[in-house]
Structure 1
């Protein structure tokens, strides 16, 4: 574990660890405890405890709260469970449902980090007199000339920086990520060495409040009567079929459309919540090279001038960054910007995030609001 950058001895340093009950956060607590820090474990109950007991394979479920307590007991550190259910509902779940109904593809884990964990929990850690809040995220925090910087994890296959783009500079100053320079295999080995009760526990896969990955079912339950059926149409407006709600579709989707194209496969090109229409077309129709971004958060230099700022931009969590330039939409509004991509990309979906990098460093990011195609000729050549 790299130094955490404190100017006092570990024994005089109090660190709150966000303990989800999984292997990563448990190893984080164990490493800090072994290093001599005063460690306090906190676990969040984020939704109905009765429902949580039935949930498997996701964080913050009833079993996970129990597991976090078992780990804390094995380490001999204090452990507290905080009821953040109402905050989580307002800040994460409600927005998730509304975003799907608006034809977007949201990322609730980002909102959870942005609000409940890195705002509310961070404030709680500060109220407890902690010097830092530590988490089990795979991302690196490095000291730069202008303060703390966020960098991608050493293990690129585990890197979670995309989900942390909304972390503010003030939050990053207070946060610590002890696992950022470790491969997952070493984390597992450490769990065995510490004899943690969760050493062989599988990683969480699902969004914590979405059973079996069924997003549509959750939205229907949260917003009863709001899901309306409609038409599946081609780019010319010709009706090709019917659907049971746009919440079942996302931009770039090919499978599960229930229709076929005479000249090749069809993809979801856009969703129209006002008319309840799903618009489909060939892959070429997905090409986009202009991405409009809202709620931009900056952890590095901010674009200036007409030329914009060269960046590598990640448009989906599983996608590698691509080259582009970021321009502010207005000189006074730093929360809105445009990304001009060097080459067209396909399946860029509103509601996802655009995260900006320079090498391994995270410069910032924001939410994708809309997309366009500027260079039609380039898109034809790629297609």
Structure 2
């Protein structure tokens, strides 16, 4: 008799009882992951909570609204004590610095606009922490991310969250098929953050009203320039602000103070028409500015592609999908032309403004909620 006739699948998809199913929950100390841990503990799963200390504990204690900081470690521990499951704190400072923070600084120095949250998921949470979960003999690892995992005919699929406002698919495109097999996202079906907070109140969790964490946890008050300057002092080297027609319009105090598409704070007032940053050239230490229409991009070179489709990426000359080239923009129709298993040229049907190297280009099914992976935008 098939096993699933003896034990129907539990809520995490295993043909055994919750008590026989060990799940490691990645706990940041925020309301989302705390609710996941409490929910699974109440369902009777063998829950093990793990929190990563990602950067200096002492400095983190004084900073509000950051994930994986000192106060958040304390909050995660309180949830574990209340719900009665073990909780461990792992020191990942060196791993986080090497895999995320250093690249963040170097990317800005190289004229790119990086997304460190994606690298953290890819290189720390879904790599090292996932392996730790396997070492703990867990059946799976659960997180508080707002994204959905569906079982398809050819394996697990990644789908956007039911709540489009909270959807985190842009930040999780690099999740590999092997990682997806092991991961679970119990909040992805919820329709709003209010439902999550209601669950936190139901479980009487101390974090029920805790504010959401900032996007970049290790950047105090959004001042990424100061973080980069500590790591790479040469980032403050001055240079020229140059118009696309070759005119020198002024000087700047470091390319790290500028991003593609920036209009305000350029330090070149008194001009008749508004100008925007259209290019950052770290080799000449130049900030290139021009009219808004020069920001429009139709062709986007993409590399380091993580493909999540059922068919081989190279099996077609073209993929007609929707893509998102910035986390705050909706998906737009595009034609993806593979160059190799990990590289492609993406043609946007409607040109987008402010496309920047270092950002992600995420692939979406235009007719469903499925995510087909994505890659990193680089300089053409």
Scaled to the shorter chain, the TM-score interval is: over 0.9
Normalised by the length of structure 1, the TM-score is 0.94
Instruction: State the alpha-carbon separation in 1 of the partners of residues 271 and 259 from structure 2.
Output: 22
Distance 1:11 1:339 in 2: 47
| Equivalent position to 1:129, from 134, 137, 143 | 137
Asked if structure 1 preserves the Cα contact closer than 8 Å seen for 2:357 and 2:379, the reply is yes
Runs of 4+ in 1 over 3 A off after TM superposition: 260-263, 301-307
- Specify the SS of the correspondent of 1:189: helix
Corresponding residue of 2:238: 229
Deviations 1:304-349 (A, max 9, x none): 46741001000011100000011112xxx31111101112111001
Contact 1:101–1:227 under 8 Å retained in 2: no
Quote the Cα distance in structure 1 between the aligned partners of 2:183 and 2:313.
26
Alpha-carbon separation, structure 2, partners of 1:3 and 1:237: 62
Structure 1: which 5+ runs fail to align? 372-383
Distance in 1, matches of 2:69 and 2:332, equals 36
2-structure distance, mates of 1:251, 1:261: 21
Matches within 5 A, 1:66-105: 66-105=74-113
2:371 counterpart residue number: 362
Could you say if the C-alpha distance between residues 302 and 264 of structure 1 is closer, same or farther in structure 2, counting changes exceeding 3 Å?
farther
Secondary structure of the residue aligned to 1:324 is: strand
Alignment of 1:255 onto 2:258: no
Q: SS of 2:227's equivalent? A: helix
Cα offset for 1:260?
3.9
What is the deviation of 1:287?
A: 1.1
Cα deviation, residue 226, structure 1: 4.0
CA distance in 2, matches of 1:142, 1:120: 24
RMSD of equivalent CA atoms: 1.3
- 2:329 is equivalent to residue 319 of structure 1: yes
Q: Deviations over 1:123-142 (max 9, x none)?
A: 00000000000000000000
Distance 2:225 2:173 in 1: 26
Cα separation, 2, equivalents of 1:237 and 1:104: 22
Q: Tell me how far 1:46 sits from its aligned partner.
A: 0.5
1:352 aligns with 2:362: no
Given candidates 145, 148, 157, the residue that maps to 1:140 is: 148
The normalised TM-score by structure 2 is 0.94
Give the aligned length. 367
